[in-house]
Amino acid sequence: MTRSALVAQVRAELTMTLRRGESLMVTLAIPLGVLVFFSKLDATIPDGYDDPVDFLLPGVIALAVMSAAMVSLGIATGFERRYGVLKRLGATPLSRRGLVVAKTVTVLLLEVLQLGLIVAVGAALGWTPNAGALPAVAIVIIGTVAFAGIGMLLAGTLRAEATLALSNALFLMLLFLGGMAYPIDKLPAVLESLADVLPAAALSECLRGLLVPGFGFPIGSFVVLSVWAVGAPLLAVRRFRWEE
């Protein structure tokens, strides 16, 4: 596999990603909508934040990561498997590693677009960047690995329609249990302890730990996120079937 093959693959993946309107709805419209809507509705924002956007922005970044790495990647890959594309690629000089690299680069580029828009809208709503931004990028990457692992696990084991339904359901569930629009300690105790071990809340809490001055870095959440980032891709690699 050559570099030009890889570049062509990334370009094709990116073209298809940007052509899928329903995917842009989940990856761009919903996170930005949540950011704007909840910043105007400060009822759910916990005490101790100067501005609702300071609480919301890390959660919305987590939401964006989840939508790009799990929902968009998972559904697209599931249907590529359904249409025999993954099988056909197996007979080309593009190696499986090449395909995985291309998909990774595509997700990261989509996230750059998402984060650019989120930060721009956040800034318009009064958010100011701080020194936590750089380590937050590392957390975003770890979160991407965790959610991409979940997305690929669904895509490589379920029928395409099931991947579509389940990844959207997970997205919605984790939006509510992910501490994104409101803090998880407002949840009933049972749900809160469930949310604590899921990757969504772990990601938004880690990002808050870095981006909100005085929040303190949540080591427990970081451990949970890291376990998902190792476990989900490993399981995906073991379980992935290239043909439906």
Partner 1 sequence: MSTNDHQRSAIVVTGLMKQYGATRAVDGLSFEVAHGEVFGLLGPNGAGKTTTVEILEGYRQADAGEVRVLGLDPFVDGTALRSRVGVMLQEGGLYPGLRTREVIRLFAAYHGVGHASADQLLDDVGLTTDRDRMVRRLSGGQRQRLSLACALVGTPEMLVLDEPTAGMDPQARATTWELVRSVVARGTTVVLTTHLLDEAERLCDRVAIVAAGRLAALGSPHELTSGERREVRFTTAVTLDPAKLAHALDLALDAVVADPAGQYRIQAAGTPSLIADLATFLRDHDIAINSLEAGRQSLEDVFMQLVTEEGNG
Site of interaction with partner 1 (CB under 8 A):
1-2, 4-5, 7-9, 12, 15-16, 19-20, 79-80, 83-85, 87-88, 90-95
| Other beta carbons within 10 Å of 98 | 19
User: Cβ(151)–Cβ(73) under 8 Å?
Assistant: yes
Choice between 1 and 230, CB closer to partner 1: 1
Q: Which is nearer to partner 1, 94 or 224 (CB)?
A: 94
The least CB distance from residue 96 to partner 1, in Å, is 10
Q: How far is the CB of 79 from partner 1 (least distance, A)?
A: 8
Q: How far is CA 177 from CA 112, 131, 242, in A?
A: 25, 28, 32
Which of 232, 209, 88 minimizes the C-alpha distance to 157?
232
Side chain identity, residue 57: L
CA distance 130 to 212: 8
> Are the C-beta atoms of residues 23 and 71 closer than 8 Å to each other?
yes
Q: Which is nearer to partner 1, 24 or 85 (CB)?
A: 85
Indicate the residue among 20 and 117 with the shorter CB distance to partner 1: 20
Q: How far is the CB of 170 from partner 1 (least distance, A)?
A: 23
Instruction: Give the Å distances, CA to CA, from 232 to 16, 175, 179, 191.
Output: 25, 19, 21, 22
**Closer residue to partner 1 (CB): 100 or 194:** 100
Task: Give the shortest CB-80-to-partner 1 separation in angstroms.
Answer: 7
What contacts 164, CB < 8 A, 6 or more positions away?
75, 78, 79
Nearest distance, CB of residue 163 and partner 1, angstroms: 16
